[in-house]
Amino acid sequence: MSYSSILPIDSGRYGTSEVKKIFSEESRLRYMLMVEAAVSKAEGLLKIIPEEASKEICSKCSIEHVSYSMWKDIEKVTRHETASLVEAIVSVVSDKAKPWVHYGLTSNDILDTAQSLQLKDYIKIVERKLGYLISILGSLAEKYSNLPSVGRTHGQHASIISFGQKFAVWANDLLDHLNRLKEIKPRVLVCKTLGVVGSGSVLGAEALKVMQLVGEELGLYPVKAATQVVSRENYAEFVWWCALVGSTLDKIATEFRNLSRTEIDEFEEEFSKDQIGSSAVPSKRNPISCEKVSSLSKLLRSMPLVALENIPLWHERDLTNSANERFIIPISAIILDEMIETVCRVLSKMSIKENIVRANIERTKGLIYSEFVLDILIRKGFSRSEAHRILRELSTRCRVEGKEFKEILLKDELVSKFISRDEVDKIFVPENHIEGSKEIIRRTLERIGKEIGSTHS
Protein backbone atom coordinates (compact mmCIF):
# COMPACT_ATOMS: atom_id res chain seq x y z
CA MET A 1 0.00 0.00 0.00
CA SER A 2 1.36 3.43 -0.91
CA TYR A 3 0.94 6.54 1.21
CA SER A 4 0.81 10.22 0.40
CA SER A 5 3.25 12.55 2.16
CA ILE A 6 3.08 12.41 5.94
CA LEU A 7 5.14 15.42 6.98
CA PRO A 8 3.78 18.83 5.87
CA ILE A 9 7.30 19.72 4.76
CA ASP A 10 7.18 16.89 2.22
CA SER A 11 3.69 17.78 1.05
CA GLY A 12 4.82 21.27 0.09
CA ARG A 13 2.90 23.04 2.84
CA TYR A 14 6.00 24.50 4.50
CA GLY A 15 9.40 25.54 3.24
CA THR A 16 10.69 26.78 -0.10
CA SER A 17 11.99 24.46 -2.80
CA GLU A 18 15.46 26.07 -2.82
CA VAL A 19 15.97 25.21 0.85
CA LYS A 20 14.31 21.80 0.80
CA LYS A 21 16.45 20.84 -2.16
CA ILE A 22 19.59 21.37 -0.05
CA PHE A 23 18.41 18.82 2.50
CA SER A 24 17.07 16.24 0.05
CA GLU A 25 18.68 12.80 -0.09
CA GLU A 26 19.77 13.43 -3.67
CA SER A 27 21.62 16.56 -2.59
CA ARG A 28 23.08 14.72 0.38
CA LEU A 29 24.64 12.28 -2.09
CA ARG A 30 26.04 15.14 -4.16
CA TYR A 31 27.64 16.73 -1.09
CA MET A 32 29.12 13.41 0.02
CA LEU A 33 30.65 12.89 -3.42
CA MET A 34 32.12 16.39 -3.26
CA VAL A 35 33.86 15.47 -0.01
CA GLU A 36 35.24 12.19 -1.38
CA ALA A 37 36.55 14.06 -4.43
CA ALA A 38 38.14 16.83 -2.36
CA VAL A 39 39.93 14.32 -0.14
CA SER A 40 41.23 12.33 -3.14
CA LYS A 41 42.44 15.54 -4.76
CA ALA A 42 44.29 16.60 -1.60
CA GLU A 43 45.84 13.17 -1.15
CA GLY A 44 46.97 13.19 -4.77
CA LEU A 45 48.57 16.63 -4.44
CA LEU A 46 50.45 15.47 -1.34
CA LYS A 47 51.55 12.20 -3.07
CA ILE A 48 49.73 10.13 -0.45
CA ILE A 49 47.89 8.23 -3.18
CA PRO A 50 48.91 7.90 -6.86
CA GLU A 51 48.15 11.09 -8.75
CA GLU A 52 46.51 9.11 -11.58
CA ALA A 53 44.17 7.40 -9.10
CA SER A 54 43.40 10.73 -7.48
CA LYS A 55 42.35 12.28 -10.79
CA GLU A 56 40.20 9.30 -11.74
CA ILE A 57 38.42 9.20 -8.39
CA CYS A 58 37.74 12.93 -8.61
CA SER A 59 36.31 12.54 -12.10
CA LYS A 60 33.97 9.74 -11.05
CA CYS A 61 32.68 11.37 -7.84
CA SER A 62 29.58 12.85 -9.43
CA ILE A 63 25.94 11.85 -9.73
CA GLU A 64 26.51 11.19 -13.44
CA HIS A 65 28.65 8.21 -12.43
CA VAL A 66 27.28 7.38 -8.97
CA SER A 67 23.53 7.75 -9.16
CA TYR A 68 21.11 8.01 -6.29
CA SER A 69 19.43 4.73 -7.22
CA MET A 70 22.79 2.94 -7.42
CA TRP A 71 23.71 4.20 -3.95
CA LYS A 72 20.39 3.21 -2.39
CA ASP A 73 20.33 -0.22 -4.03
CA ILE A 74 23.69 -1.02 -2.46
CA GLU A 75 22.56 0.36 0.90
CA LYS A 76 19.64 -2.08 0.95
CA VAL A 77 22.25 -4.83 1.23
CA THR A 78 24.96 -3.17 3.35
CA ARG A 79 22.62 -1.15 5.62
CA HIS A 80 25.41 1.41 5.84
CA GLU A 81 25.07 4.61 3.80
CA THR A 82 28.74 5.63 3.68
CA ALA A 83 30.04 2.11 2.99
CA SER A 84 27.46 1.92 0.20
CA LEU A 85 28.76 5.16 -1.24
CA VAL A 86 32.32 3.82 -1.16
CA GLU A 87 31.22 0.60 -2.89
CA ALA A 88 29.41 2.63 -5.54
CA ILE A 89 32.50 4.72 -6.27
CA VAL A 90 34.73 1.63 -6.29
CA SER A 91 32.42 0.04 -8.86
CA VAL A 92 32.94 2.85 -11.37
CA VAL A 93 36.72 3.36 -11.14
CA SER A 94 39.55 1.27 -12.57
CA ASP A 95 41.28 -1.51 -10.66
CA LYS A 96 44.30 0.73 -10.10
CA ALA A 97 42.15 3.39 -8.43
CA LYS A 98 39.94 1.08 -6.35
CA PRO A 99 42.34 0.74 -3.34
CA TRP A 100 42.56 4.51 -2.95
CA VAL A 101 38.85 5.33 -2.72
CA HIS A 102 37.96 6.73 0.73
CA TYR A 103 41.62 6.35 1.74
CA GLY A 104 42.35 7.16 5.40
CA LEU A 105 38.74 8.17 6.06
CA THR A 106 35.88 7.06 8.25
CA SER A 107 32.15 7.46 7.69
CA ASN A 108 31.67 10.65 9.65
CA ASP A 109 34.51 12.36 7.84
CA ILE A 110 32.14 12.25 4.89
CA LEU A 111 28.86 12.71 6.74
CA ASP A 112 29.86 15.63 8.94
CA THR A 113 31.74 17.43 6.19
CA ALA A 114 28.85 16.92 3.78
CA GLN A 115 26.50 18.31 6.40
CA SER A 116 28.71 21.38 6.67
CA LEU A 117 28.35 21.85 2.92
CA GLN A 118 24.58 21.66 3.28
CA LEU A 119 24.64 24.26 6.04
CA LYS A 120 27.01 26.44 4.06
CA ASP A 121 24.55 26.60 1.16
CA TYR A 122 21.62 27.09 3.55
CA ILE A 123 23.34 29.92 5.38
CA LYS A 124 23.87 31.79 2.12
CA ILE A 125 20.13 31.68 1.54
CA VAL A 126 19.09 32.55 5.06
CA GLU A 127 21.52 35.48 5.19
CA ARG A 128 20.00 36.86 2.01
CA LYS A 129 16.45 36.42 3.26
CA LEU A 130 17.14 37.92 6.66
CA GLY A 131 18.81 40.85 4.94
CA TYR A 132 15.69 41.37 2.84
CA LEU A 133 13.46 41.15 5.92
CA ILE A 134 15.63 43.69 7.74
CA SER A 135 15.36 46.04 4.77
CA ILE A 136 11.56 45.78 4.88
CA LEU A 137 11.57 46.50 8.61
CA GLY A 138 13.83 49.49 8.06
CA SER A 139 11.50 50.89 5.39
CA LEU A 140 8.49 50.46 7.68
CA ALA A 141 10.34 52.05 10.60
CA GLU A 142 11.00 55.08 8.42
CA LYS A 143 7.45 55.14 6.99
CA TYR A 144 5.82 55.19 10.43
CA SER A 145 8.46 57.20 12.29
CA ASN A 146 6.14 60.23 12.61
CA LEU A 147 3.11 58.20 13.71
CA PRO A 148 2.60 58.42 17.49
CA SER A 149 1.02 55.36 19.05
CA VAL A 150 0.28 53.70 22.35
CA GLY A 151 3.22 52.03 24.04
CA ARG A 152 1.90 49.16 26.16
CA THR A 153 3.38 47.35 29.13
CA HIS A 154 1.59 44.49 30.92
CA GLY A 155 -1.06 44.89 28.22
CA GLN A 156 -1.89 48.38 29.54
CA HIS A 157 -1.38 51.83 28.05
CA ALA A 158 1.93 53.16 29.37
CA SER A 159 3.32 56.01 27.26
CA ILE A 160 3.70 57.36 23.74
CA ILE A 161 5.95 55.65 21.21
CA SER A 162 6.50 56.12 17.49
CA PHE A 163 4.78 53.24 15.71
CA GLY A 164 7.91 52.99 13.58
CA GLN A 165 10.02 52.15 16.63
CA LYS A 166 8.45 48.69 16.74
CA PHE A 167 10.00 47.91 13.37
CA ALA A 168 13.31 49.46 14.38
CA VAL A 169 13.56 47.20 17.43
CA TRP A 170 12.93 44.10 15.33
CA ALA A 171 15.41 45.21 12.68
CA ASN A 172 18.11 45.57 15.33
CA ASP A 173 17.27 42.17 16.78
CA LEU A 174 17.67 40.53 13.38
CA LEU A 175 20.89 42.42 12.64
CA ASP A 176 22.23 40.97 15.89
CA HIS A 177 21.20 37.51 14.69
CA LEU A 178 23.11 38.00 11.45
CA ASN A 179 26.18 38.95 13.47
CA ARG A 180 25.74 35.86 15.65
CA LEU A 181 25.58 33.74 12.52
CA LYS A 182 28.79 35.27 11.26
CA GLU A 183 30.44 34.47 14.59
CA ILE A 184 29.42 30.81 14.63
CA LYS A 185 30.37 29.99 11.02
CA PRO A 186 33.95 28.89 11.91
CA ARG A 187 32.49 26.47 14.46
CA VAL A 188 29.60 25.17 12.36
CA LEU A 189 31.02 25.05 8.83
CA VAL A 190 33.88 22.65 9.55
CA CYS A 191 35.48 19.83 7.64
CA LYS A 192 36.92 16.77 9.32
CA THR A 193 39.09 14.14 7.59
CA LEU A 194 40.91 12.65 10.57
CA GLY A 195 39.78 9.03 10.36
CA VAL A 196 38.37 6.52 12.80
CA VAL A 197 38.97 8.22 16.15
CA GLY A 198 39.99 11.68 15.00
CA SER A 199 43.73 11.11 15.28
CA GLY A 200 44.53 10.94 11.57
CA SER A 201 45.93 7.50 12.26
CA VAL A 202 46.32 6.26 8.68
CA LEU A 203 47.41 9.56 7.17
CA GLY A 204 49.80 10.24 10.04
CA ALA A 205 51.93 13.37 9.69
CA GLU A 206 50.07 14.38 6.53
CA ALA A 207 46.60 14.21 8.13
CA LEU A 208 46.30 17.89 9.00
CA LYS A 209 47.71 18.94 5.63
CA VAL A 210 45.04 16.89 3.88
CA MET A 211 42.31 18.47 5.99
CA GLN A 212 43.65 21.97 5.32
CA LEU A 213 43.55 21.38 1.56
CA VAL A 214 40.04 19.89 1.78
CA GLY A 215 38.87 22.93 3.72
CA GLU A 216 40.29 25.26 1.08
CA GLU A 217 38.71 23.24 -1.72
CA LEU A 218 35.25 23.15 -0.13
CA GLY A 219 35.25 26.57 1.51
CA LEU A 220 35.07 25.09 5.03
CA TYR A 221 37.06 25.52 8.24
CA PRO A 222 39.31 22.58 9.24
CA VAL A 223 38.16 21.29 12.61
CA LYS A 224 40.64 22.08 15.38
CA ALA A 225 40.13 18.76 17.15
CA ALA A 226 37.57 15.96 16.97
CA THR A 227 36.82 12.39 17.91
CA GLN A 228 35.42 10.20 15.17
CA VAL A 229 32.79 12.90 14.83
CA VAL A 230 32.75 16.66 14.91
CA SER A 231 31.76 17.83 18.40
CA ARG A 232 28.00 18.09 18.56
CA GLU A 233 28.28 21.44 20.35
CA ASN A 234 28.72 22.85 16.84
CA TYR A 235 25.36 21.63 15.60
CA ALA A 236 23.63 22.46 18.88
CA GLU A 237 24.80 26.04 18.38
CA PHE A 238 23.36 26.16 14.88
CA VAL A 239 20.02 24.68 15.96
CA TRP A 240 19.95 27.10 18.90
CA TRP A 241 20.58 29.98 16.47
CA CYS A 242 17.63 28.88 14.34
CA ALA A 243 15.41 28.76 17.42
CA LEU A 244 16.62 32.17 18.56
CA VAL A 245 15.80 33.79 15.21
CA GLY A 246 12.48 31.95 15.19
CA SER A 247 11.65 33.38 18.61
CA THR A 248 12.25 36.90 17.33
CA LEU A 249 9.93 36.20 14.40
CA ASP A 250 7.40 34.88 16.92
CA LYS A 251 7.77 38.15 18.84
CA ILE A 252 6.90 40.08 15.68
CA ALA A 253 3.95 37.80 14.92
CA THR A 254 2.69 37.97 18.51
CA GLU A 255 2.70 41.78 18.45
CA PHE A 256 0.71 41.81 15.22
CA ARG A 257 -1.72 39.22 16.58
CA ASN A 258 -2.35 41.47 19.58
CA LEU A 259 -2.69 44.59 17.44
CA SER A 260 -5.28 42.78 15.30
CA ARG A 261 -7.57 42.13 18.28
CA THR A 262 -11.01 43.62 17.66
CA GLU A 263 -10.60 45.86 20.70
CA ILE A 264 -7.29 47.30 19.40
CA ASP A 265 -7.75 46.97 15.60
CA GLU A 266 -4.52 48.72 14.56
CA PHE A 267 -3.27 45.95 12.25
CA GLU A 268 -4.79 43.58 9.71
CA GLU A 269 -3.21 40.83 7.65
CA GLU A 270 -3.91 40.74 3.96
CA PHE A 271 -7.28 39.10 3.34
CA SER A 272 -7.96 38.10 -0.26
CA LYS A 273 -11.34 38.41 -1.96
CA ASP A 274 -12.33 34.73 -1.72
CA GLN A 275 -10.47 33.90 1.50
CA ILE A 276 -12.50 32.36 4.32
CA GLY A 277 -11.79 33.35 7.92
CA SER A 278 -14.15 30.94 9.66
CA SER A 279 -16.37 28.07 8.56
CA ALA A 280 -18.97 29.21 11.10
CA VAL A 281 -18.62 33.01 11.22
CA PRO A 282 -18.60 34.57 7.73
CA SER A 283 -17.41 37.97 8.95
CA LYS A 284 -14.19 36.81 10.63
CA ARG A 285 -10.70 37.76 9.45
CA ASN A 286 -8.15 35.86 11.50
CA PRO A 287 -4.39 36.58 11.64
CA ILE A 288 -3.61 33.07 10.43
CA SER A 289 -0.18 33.80 8.95
CA CYS A 290 1.06 35.31 12.19
CA GLU A 291 -0.47 32.42 14.11
CA LYS A 292 1.38 30.00 11.85
CA VAL A 293 4.66 31.74 12.68
CA SER A 294 3.95 31.45 16.40
CA SER A 295 2.95 27.81 16.03
CA LEU A 296 6.09 26.85 14.10
CA SER A 297 8.22 28.72 16.61
CA LYS A 298 6.97 26.44 19.38
CA LEU A 299 8.22 23.43 17.40
CA LEU A 300 11.48 25.16 16.49
CA ARG A 301 12.25 25.96 20.13
CA SER A 302 12.00 22.28 21.00
CA MET A 303 14.86 21.33 18.66
CA PRO A 304 17.80 22.69 20.75
CA LEU A 305 16.90 20.34 23.60
CA VAL A 306 17.51 17.32 21.36
CA ALA A 307 20.68 18.90 19.96
CA LEU A 308 22.02 19.38 23.48
CA GLU A 309 21.29 15.74 24.28
CA ASN A 310 23.56 14.77 21.38
CA ILE A 311 26.66 16.35 22.90
CA PRO A 312 27.61 13.59 25.39
CA LEU A 313 28.44 10.55 23.23
CA TRP A 314 30.27 7.42 24.40
CA HIS A 315 34.07 7.58 24.14
CA GLU A 316 35.07 8.63 20.62
CA ARG A 317 31.48 8.27 19.39
CA ASP A 318 28.28 6.27 19.29
CA LEU A 319 25.19 6.50 17.10
CA THR A 320 22.72 8.04 19.53
CA ASN A 321 22.90 11.37 17.72
CA SER A 322 22.64 10.06 14.18
CA ALA A 323 18.94 9.31 13.72
CA ASN A 324 17.56 12.41 15.40
CA GLU A 325 19.96 14.76 13.58
CA ARG A 326 18.33 13.68 10.34
CA PHE A 327 15.25 15.44 11.74
CA ILE A 328 16.37 18.34 13.89
CA ILE A 329 18.92 19.95 11.56
CA PRO A 330 16.97 20.02 8.28
CA ILE A 331 13.64 20.61 10.01
CA SER A 332 15.07 23.55 12.00
CA ALA A 333 16.45 25.06 8.81
CA ILE A 334 13.29 24.51 6.76
CA ILE A 335 10.93 25.74 9.49
CA LEU A 336 12.98 28.91 9.91
CA ASP A 337 12.92 29.44 6.15
CA GLU A 338 9.12 29.15 6.17
CA MET A 339 8.82 31.58 9.05
CA ILE A 340 11.03 34.21 7.39
CA GLU A 341 9.09 33.91 4.14
CA THR A 342 5.79 34.26 6.00
CA VAL A 343 6.83 37.34 7.98
CA CYS A 344 8.10 38.97 4.78
CA ARG A 345 4.72 38.36 3.12
CA VAL A 346 2.82 39.69 6.13
CA LEU A 347 4.89 42.88 6.27
CA SER A 348 4.62 43.45 2.53
CA LYS A 349 0.83 43.14 2.38
CA MET A 350 -0.44 44.16 5.82
CA SER A 351 -2.65 47.13 6.66
CA ILE A 352 -1.72 49.54 9.47
CA LYS A 353 -4.83 51.56 10.38
CA GLU A 354 -3.21 54.89 11.18
CA ASN A 355 -6.46 56.62 12.16
CA ILE A 356 -7.16 53.93 14.76
CA VAL A 357 -3.55 53.99 15.97
CA ARG A 358 -4.00 57.69 16.71
CA ALA A 359 -7.49 57.27 18.15
CA ASN A 360 -6.33 54.56 20.57
CA ILE A 361 -4.01 57.08 22.23
CA GLU A 362 -7.08 58.86 23.57
CA ARG A 363 -8.88 55.76 24.85
CA THR A 364 -7.74 56.44 28.43
CA LYS A 365 -9.00 60.05 28.25
CA GLY A 366 -5.49 61.43 28.41
CA LEU A 367 -4.09 59.32 31.23
CA ILE A 368 -1.33 58.15 28.90
CA TYR A 369 0.24 61.63 29.32
CA SER A 370 0.62 61.32 33.11
CA GLU A 371 4.32 60.48 32.77
CA PHE A 372 4.94 63.88 31.18
CA VAL A 373 2.89 65.74 33.78
CA LEU A 374 4.96 64.00 36.45
CA ASP A 375 8.13 65.20 34.75
CA ILE A 376 7.00 68.85 34.77
CA LEU A 377 5.98 68.73 38.44
CA ILE A 378 9.40 67.36 39.35
CA ARG A 379 11.05 70.14 37.33
CA LYS A 380 8.88 72.66 39.23
CA GLY A 381 10.35 71.48 42.55
CA PHE A 382 8.05 68.65 43.66
CA SER A 383 9.64 65.51 45.02
CA ARG A 384 9.04 62.49 42.82
CA SER A 385 7.04 60.69 45.51
CA GLU A 386 4.80 63.72 46.19
CA ALA A 387 4.16 64.39 42.50
CA HIS A 388 3.49 60.69 41.93
CA ARG A 389 0.94 60.65 44.77
CA ILE A 390 -0.88 63.72 43.46
CA LEU A 391 -1.17 62.31 39.94
CA ARG A 392 -2.33 58.90 41.20
CA GLU A 393 -5.19 60.62 42.99
CA LEU A 394 -6.09 62.71 39.94
CA SER A 395 -5.91 59.64 37.71
CA THR A 396 -8.36 57.86 39.98
CA ARG A 397 -10.74 60.81 39.74
CA CYS A 398 -10.46 60.67 35.97
CA ARG A 399 -11.49 57.02 35.96
CA VAL A 400 -14.27 57.37 38.52
CA GLU A 401 -15.80 60.53 37.09
CA GLY A 402 -15.22 59.62 33.44
CA LYS A 403 -13.72 63.02 32.71
CA GLU A 404 -10.77 63.96 30.54
CA PHE A 405 -7.47 63.96 32.44
CA LYS A 406 -6.56 67.30 30.90
CA GLU A 407 -9.75 68.88 32.28
CA ILE A 408 -9.09 67.53 35.76
CA LEU A 409 -5.53 68.84 35.73
CA LEU A 410 -6.57 72.33 34.69
CA LYS A 411 -9.23 72.47 37.40
CA ASP A 412 -7.01 71.17 40.19
CA GLU A 413 -5.95 74.10 42.36
CA LEU A 414 -2.54 72.73 43.31
CA VAL A 415 -1.48 71.58 39.85
CA SER A 416 -2.77 74.70 38.09
CA LYS A 417 -0.56 76.87 40.32
CA PHE A 418 2.55 75.24 38.92
CA ILE A 419 1.63 74.23 35.36
CA SER A 420 0.23 76.76 32.88
CA ARG A 421 -2.44 75.99 30.32
CA ASP A 422 0.11 76.35 27.52
CA GLU A 423 2.32 73.75 29.19
CA VAL A 424 -0.64 71.41 29.59
CA ASP A 425 -1.65 71.88 25.96
CA LYS A 426 1.87 70.93 24.80
CA ILE A 427 1.83 67.83 26.99
CA PHE A 428 -1.34 66.56 25.32
CA VAL A 429 0.08 66.61 21.78
CA PRO A 430 1.33 63.05 21.08
CA GLU A 431 3.78 64.15 18.37
CA ASN A 432 5.70 66.08 21.04
CA HIS A 433 6.80 62.82 22.70
CA ILE A 434 8.36 60.79 19.88
CA GLU A 435 11.63 62.60 19.24
CA GLY A 436 13.54 59.86 21.07
CA SER A 437 11.80 57.22 18.99
CA LYS A 438 12.68 59.06 15.80
CA GLU A 439 16.35 59.21 16.76
CA ILE A 440 16.33 55.46 17.50
CA ILE A 441 14.84 54.90 14.05
CA ARG A 442 17.42 57.17 12.42
CA ARG A 443 20.27 55.25 14.05
CA THR A 444 18.68 51.94 13.07
CA LEU A 445 18.49 52.99 9.42
CA GLU A 446 22.13 54.06 9.61
CA ARG A 447 23.07 50.65 11.03
CA ILE A 448 21.12 48.83 8.33
CA GLY A 449 22.92 50.87 5.69
CA LYS A 450 26.31 50.02 7.15
CA GLU A 451 25.74 46.32 7.79
CA ILE A 452 23.62 45.14 4.88
CA GLY A 453 23.36 48.10 2.54
CA SER A 454 20.45 50.42 1.85
CA THR A 455 18.82 47.71 -0.29
CA HIS A 456 19.08 43.96 0.02
CA SER A 457 17.54 41.61 -2.53
pTM: 0.94
Q: Helices H, strands E: what count in the chain?
A: 18, 6
Integer angstrom CA distances of residue 401 from 214, 363, 389, 398, 414: 78, 15, 18, 5, 19
- Whether residue 118 contacts residue 22, with contact meaning beta carbons closer than 8 Å, is answered with yes
Per annotation, catalytic residue among 154, 272, 279, 385: 154
Q: What is the dihedral of CA 289, 294, 299, 302, to 10 degrees?
A: 160
User: CATH topology for 367-427?
Assistant: Ribonucleotide Reductase Protein R1; domain 1 (1.10.40)
Half-sphere exposure of 338 (CA within 13 A, CB side): 25
Neighbours of 4 (CB within 10 A): 6
pLDDT 10s digit of each residue in the chain, 457 long?
567 778 888 888 899 999 999 999 999 999 999 999 999 999 999 999 999 999 999 999 999 999 999 999 999 999 999 999 999 999 999 999 999 999 999 999 999 999 999 999 999 999 999 999 999 999 999 999 999 999 999 999 999 999 999 999 999 999 999 999 999 999 999 999 999 999 999 999 999 999 999 999 999 999 999 999 999 999 999 999 999 999 999 999 999 999 999 999 999 998 776 676 766 777 677 889 999 999 999 999 999 999 999 999 999 999 999 999 999 999 999 999 999 999 999 999 999 999 999 999 999 999 999 999 999 999 999 999 999 999 999 999 999 999 999 999 999 999 989 999 999 999 999 999 999 999 999 999 999 999 987 544 4
Per annotation, catalytic residue among 278, 302, 383, 420: 278
The class level of CATH for 17-100 reads: mainly alpha
- SS3 state of residue 151: strand
Q: Which CATH superfamily is domain 107-271+282-360 in?
A: Fumarase/aspartase (Central domain) (1.20.200.10)
Among 102, 94, 41, 92, CA closest to 71? 92
Parse the chain into domains and list their residue ranges.
17-100, 107-271+282-360, 367-427
- Whether residue 85 contacts residue 79, with contact meaning beta carbons closer than 8 Å, is answered with no
Separation CA 289–CA 345 (nearest Å): 9
Active site residue 278: yes
222 backbone dihedrals φ, ψ, rounded to 5°:
-60, 135
Separation CA 119–CA 48 (nearest Å): 30
